[in-house]
């Protein structure tokens, strides 16, 4: 049981954060594309201490059938935290938090998916958190967006997600667990590379100026993450050999 509060923690030392980062610095990010053989698309992401895997299946037939939409595909998103992903064993199975995160994450991705191309079908996104260190919803969305591309799902644009927070009256990028749990605010966002925001949540209190600063900082973080997502996809697909096409001379 954690029995610390915000006053027990010194969040900064010599101007740097507990893990040595500047206030506007992301944690290290690693993205691997196409890690699951049986999924249509998949992605493994590490964002600091978060380890998350996303798997995409579809477009495929909808079960149960009454969920079918005649004009578009439906999108389902299941966020799940493994019981071993946190220090104190988490009770397995869905809970209020996972329902909320599944809903907001689906809503963060759905606007860019061209669902009208696949009427009466479903695109299923499964996100499994293997290790959690704050920012799992944003890590999940980043992995899911890459997995959707890997599955060949037509999308209007990419989605990248990042959070900003407030600790010891300072706005910081990409809070880690101690900063998230004992900080004053947490503000995750998801957006397209053009800056169209598809998710914006806020936990805690921020003044209007702090709010704007946090949004700006999170958007800058999301732009940097977009570059990493893009590079991971280019790396995967540039390794594939181009299909050989036989061209016959016209007779």
Q: Which residues bind ligand ADP (CB under 6 A)?
A: 86, 88, 90, 97, 132-137, 177, 180-181, 186
Residue 95: CA count within 13 A, CB half-sphere? 8
Nearer to ligand ADP, 25 or 68 (CB): 25
CB of 52 to ligand ADP, least distance (A): 10
Q: Which is nearer to ligand ADP, 115 or 160 (CB)?
A: 160
Q: Do residues 7 and 167 make contact, with C-beta atoms less than 8 angstroms apart?
A: no
Tell me how far apart the alpha carbons of residues 194 and 157 are, in angstroms, rounded to a whole number: 9
Q: Which is nearer to ligand ADP, 5 or 251 (CB)?
A: 5
Closest CA to 192 of 116, 108, 115: 108
134 versus 164: smaller Cβ distance to ligand ADP: 134
- Shorter beta-carbon distance to ligand ADP: residue 27 or 118: 27
Write down the least CB distance from residue 132 to ligand ADP, Å: 4
Nearer to ligand ADP, 85 or 229 (CB): 85
- Measured distance CA(68)–CA(90) in Å, rounded: 34
**Pairing of the two strands 185-191 and 197-200:** antiparallel
DSSP conformation class of 205: -
Q: How far is the CB of 45 from ligand ADP (least distance, A)?
A: 13
- On whether the CB atoms of residues 199 and 244 are closer than 8 A, the answer is no
The C-alpha atoms of residue 36 and residue 39 are separated, in whole angstroms, by 6
Give the tokens for residue 182. Answer: 């004992």
The CB-of-108 to ligand ADP minimum distance in angstroms stands at: 12
Residue among 1, 14, 64, 20 at smallest CA distance from 179 = 20
Residue 49 CB, nearest distance to ligand ADP (Å)? 8
Q: Minimal distance in Å, beta carbon 118 to ligand ADP?
A: 29
């Amino acid at each position: 049981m954690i029995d610390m509060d915000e006053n027990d923690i010194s969040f900064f030392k010599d101007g740097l954060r507990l893990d040595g980062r500047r206030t506007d610095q992301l944690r290290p990010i690693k993205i691997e594309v196409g890690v699951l053989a049986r999924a249509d698309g998949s992605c493994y992401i590490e964002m600091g201490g978060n380890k998350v895997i996303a798997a995409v299946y579809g477009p495929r037939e909808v079960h149960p059938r009454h969920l079918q939409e005649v004009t578009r595909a439906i999108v389902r998103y299941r966020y799940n935290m493994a019981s071993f992903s946190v220090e104190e064993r988490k009770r397995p199975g869905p809970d209020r938090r996972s329902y909320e995160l599944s809903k907001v994450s689906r809503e963060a991705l759905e606007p860019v998916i061209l669902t009208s191309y696949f009427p009466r079908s479903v695109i299923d996104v499964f996100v499994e958190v293997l290790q959690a260190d704050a920012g799992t919803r944003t890590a999940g969305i980043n992995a899911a967006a890459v997995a959707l591309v890997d599955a060949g799902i037509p999308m209007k644009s990419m989605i990248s997600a990042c959070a900003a927070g407030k600790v010891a009256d300072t706005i910081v990028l990409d809070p880690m667990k101690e900063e998230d749990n004992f900080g004053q605010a947490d503000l995750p966002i998801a957006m397209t590379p053009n800056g169209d925001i598809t998710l914006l949540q806020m936990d805690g209190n921020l003044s209007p100026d702090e709010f704007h600063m946090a949004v700006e900082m999170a958007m800058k973080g999301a732009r940097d993450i977009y570059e990493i997502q893009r590079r991971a996809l280019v790396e995967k697909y540039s390794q594939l050999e181009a299909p050989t096409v036989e061209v016959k001379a016209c007779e």
